[in-house]
Amino acid sequence: MQGVCGACWAFSTTGVLEGANFIATGKLPNLSEQQLVDCDHTCDASEKDACDKGCSGGLMTNAYNYLMKAGGIQSEESYPYTGKSGECRFDPKKIAVKVANFTNIPADENQIAAHLVTHGPLAVGLNAVFMQTYIGGVSCPLICSKKLVNHGVLIVGYGAEGFSILRLGNKPYWIIKNSWGKRWGEHGYYKLCRGSGMCGMNTMVSGVVTQN
């Protein structure tokens, strides 16, 4: 749980790394968000002002680049989360997972679904304004800017189910893991309408390849 620290980007990054590592090795590590918060100050190559700034925000793609340069990421156990920015205490001798490469996924939601099935969870940026009042069910916000992407999450699956008391039929949805704790949403998860790039969820999608 990220708490008051704006480290959603770090939780999204560790989530996609944990999933990729599990698919590659069968091992599901708990990786350190705090290492990213404390040590990663990488800026986007094409947008110099878009830098990772600890509890003030960041980008998952910047984090991948940092981890490839740093050599990898420690476990949560060896570098635990504090919920605030601090001095970098990264120890290369304690690396748990290495990043070999990463991929930006096209905006086509069919391709996103196919990549999810083949390669596991994906890091996603979206507009989170309607997530703050979410309590359950399939969320299909009528007004949700696709351009104001302000929150990093993790897509872990998809499905379809009845979404209206008027029985209008099944509605495809994404299953999204959030970083606001298990008391939020459906035990920490969010179901968002699938198929129309709802809330900009298809504009910033990425996956990683880990290295043993």
Check if the beta carbon of residue 11 is closer than 8 Å to that of residue 73.
no
pLDDT reported for residue 121: 96
39, 140, 151, 193: the active-site residue: 151
pLDDT reported for residue 129: 85
Amino acid (1-letter code) at residue 121: P
pLDDT reported for residue 143: 83
CB-neighbour burial class of residue 197 (10 A; exposed 0-12, middle 13-18, buried 19+): middle
pLDDT reported for residue 166: 47
202 is catalytic: no
Chain center to CA of 126: 10
Amino acid (1-letter code) at residue 212: N
d(CA 113, CA 135): 25
8 is catalytic: yes
8, 140, 144, 199: the active-site residue: 8
pLDDT reported for residue 37: 97
62, 178, 199, 202: the active-site residue: 178
pLDDT reported for residue 162: 56
> pTM for the full model?
0.90
pLDDT tens for the chain, 212 residues long, are 777 899 999 999 999 999 999 999 999 999 999 999 999 999 987 777 789 999 999 999 999 999 999 999 999 999 999 999 999 999 999 999 999 999 999 999 999 999 999 999 999 999 998 888 898 888 888 888 888 888 999 999 998 765 544 445 678 999 999 999 888 999 999 999 998 899 999 999 999 999 86
pLDDT reported for residue 169: 60
